[in-house]
Copies of this chain bind each other. A is one copy, B any other.
Amino acid sequence: MSIGAVGLRERKRLATRRAIQKAVLELMEEKGYDQVTVEEISHLADISPRTFFNYFASKEAAAIGDGPSLPGESDLAAFVEAGPGQDVLSGLSELLATAVESAGDELELLHLRRRALKEYPQLFALRMATMRVFEDELAVVVARRLERDDPQLAADPEALTDRARLITLVAFGAMRHAWASWADAEGRMPLADRLRDTFGQLAEILVTARSKMIG
C-alpha cells in the first residue's frame, strides 16, 4: 500500500459503516425505530448480524450515527490566529460554518438522518449527547485561541480551560439552535447559513444584554 493512499481495508470499513447507518435510517423511515431489528439492518447492509456489532455497540448507536469531526488544521489555525481584534464567538461561527460546508460525501447521510431523527426526539437528543467528544476537541482549540489573545488568561491554565469550556458550551448552544431551525425548514437553507444567522442573532442579544448591564 503506497504512502498517502487509503488501503482497500479501510475503504471497505468506511463503506460498511456508512451502509449500516444508511440501512438503519431507511428502515426507520419505512417502519419506525422499534420495528427495525438488527437482523434486518444487517441484511440490507449485506453483512451478518454479528458483524453489525463489530461496527456499532448497539442498534441505537447506529441510528444516531457518527458524530462530526473537527475541520482541517488549516481552518483551525485560521481561527486560532485570527487575533484579538476578532471576537471569539464570531470566529467560532465561521469555523463551524466552514466545517459543515466541507461535509461532502456525507451529505446524503446528513439529510437522511435529519428526516429520520426528526420523528424521534429522544434519538436526536442522544445524538446531541454524543457531541461531547466534538465539544471537548473544540474546547481545546478555543483554549489555543484564548492563549494567544489574552496573556492574562494564558498565565492561569486552569482559568484558561475553564473559560474555553464555557465559551464552547455557549457556542454549542447556538449550534443546537441553528440545527433546530435547519431541521424545521426541512433543510432547504444550507446549515452553514443557519449557523451564521444564529450567531448573528446571538450577537444582537449580547449587545442588548451589555447595554442593560451598563445602563
Contact = CB atoms under 8 A, between A and B. Distances in A.
B174 A86 contact: no
The majority secondary structure among interface residues of chain A is helix
A176 interface: yes
Contacts of A177: 165-166, 169-170
Interface string A135-170: 000000000000000000000000000110111011
A12 interface: no
Interface residues of A, number: 42
Contacts of A198: 166
Nearest to A210: B210
A130 B126 CA distance: 8
Contact of A209 (B87, B122, B173, B176): B87
Contacts of A132: 121, 125
Given A132-B121, A210-B210, A205 B126 contact: no
A49 B171 CA distance: 43
